[in-house]
Amino acid sequence: MINTIFIGSVSACFEIDNDLAYHSKEKYTVCLDGKALFESDTNVFSVFDLMPDREYVLEISGEDPVTFRTAKESCAVSVRDFGAKGDGFSDDTVSIQTAINCLPNNGRLYFPEGVYLTAPIVLKSHITLDISEKAKLLGLPDQSAYNVIPGTAKDIITGEDIHFGTWEGNAVPMHQALIFAEYAEDIRIVGRGVIDGNAEAGGWWENVKERNIPRPRLLFFNRCKLITVHGITVCNAASWQIHPYFSSYLHFLDLDITAPKDSPNTDALDPEACDNVWISGCRFSVGDDCIAIKSGKIDIGRKFKQPAENHNIRNCLMQFGHGAVTLGSEMAGGVRNLTVERCIFDHTDRGLRIKTRRGRGKDAVIDGVLFEKMKMNGVLTPIVINMWYNCCDPDRYSEYNTTREKLPVDDRTPYLGKFTFRDMECLDCSVAACYCDGLPEMPISEINVEDIHFTFADDARPGIPAMKNNAVEMCKAGMYFDNVDKLSIKNVTIDGCIGDKLIVGNVGELIKE
């Protein structure tokens, strides 16, 4: 069965409904109106260069045909008609921005073959950017071209703070992103082209800890809704590649998101305090976390009480990141209802990576997390739930955040609810199969581990399973659980483990089958 994920005016995205992770059972040919277009072996595939408001019949081998109609649009114009050169040398910023400003509602701006050198551009509501297969938007290397956006600005009448800039969970000034939208809706960025941040040429990856103003992201959406990014390659951002912030109804489909393995803080896709997020068919290979789901630090979490909720991640391939799917550590607003399914994690440091600690606050509730039908290859530690994360904040080495003594539960105490991991194959692990460490005063409420097979690499090397104070290296360790109220383990096998396969401390109820 073929499910339709997205239909725009010139592109569409589909998913084969099966129980397999990322890849289909066998190769298939995609045909449109009886004409063969390409072969594929992935569960998610797309067609591009369609005509608006036209009916098509799509077929693949062994599946019933799907009839669909593309969306209507008011017009389609080329960026070249507004003076853009696309020669890779001329500054095309003004031409691109002018074209966007002139587009009517439901209009499409087309980028034909070429390299369009540009400073940050601002999107508006009800438009489509269509980046053709041989087109590239390339960020200007001049750092002064990236204006500084204030974290907040006061309403001159009410005195209310209006939020604009952010970094790592706080409302702070930031450099403007290359593709930038605030308080907008109904935006589509589609095509088979490239948006390249050009960060190395701009020197953005140098001396990152000495910068007073956070580096720009590549795509940034603040308080937007109905955003679709489909088909393009996103690469080489100065910091995070794609950062939606307090936004809703977001679709990220069939994307390539890449950065060098050693590039600093180049997370691929970090939805923060967003709801109804769909990530499907994407390929990630970056220098930090592949997907990091966030909801702000304690001031933001306490003020807005906006959790990251209703996220679905499926049929994605994640490679070489610190974490494949990370929650936190900026999660003071909470994370609720996350499903990750049918994905492949390949040589990431961790599979699921939860980062929180004392001080994130009582609204920092993570609950309703499901991982199923997953494959992990060469992941150092597949499952990490860490309530002792020790990075980024000034108080990370304080007695409050290091003592293993049971402290009073107060407004600063985070909460971790129910986590379910089932039907997973985790091959060639190195450090530990699973490492879950709750707080003595607030244990992890419930962990269910079912139908999972772990193996360890022959050449496994010792490592730290979770970033925390006083961490101890492990190698080929089994499943470690400390400070958990309820733990259920059913049909789990671990091959190649050194020492005990199950290491348990301070677990209230243990069910093992």
Catalytic residue numbers, as ranges: 288, 322
Q: How far apart are CA 79 and CA 96, in angstroms?
A: 6
Residues whose CB is less than 8 angstroms from the CB of residue 118 and which lie 6 or more positions away in sequence, other chains included: 91, 92, 93, 96, 137, 138, 139, 140, 178
Furthest CA-CA distance within the chain: 68
User: Whose structure tokens read 């933001």?
Assistant: 300
Q: Is 169 left (phi over 0), alpha (psi -120 to 50) or beta?
A: left
3-state secondary structure 98-158: HHHHHCCCCEEEEECCEEEEECCEECCCCEEEEECCCEEEEECCCHHHCCEECCEEECCCC
* Phi/psi of residue 200, nearest 5 degrees: -65, -40
Q: How far apart are CA 255 and CA 279, in angstroms?
A: 9
* Phi/psi of residue 337, nearest 5 degrees: 60, 70
- Rounded (10°) CA dihedral 27, 33, 35, 38: -40
Q: What is the DSSP string of 445-465?
A: EEEEEEEEEEEE-TT---B-S
Respond yes or no on whether the N-terminal peptide bond of residue 329 is cis (omega within 30° of 0).
yes
CA distances in angstroms from 409 to 96, 111, 228, 366, listed in the order given: 53, 55, 41, 17
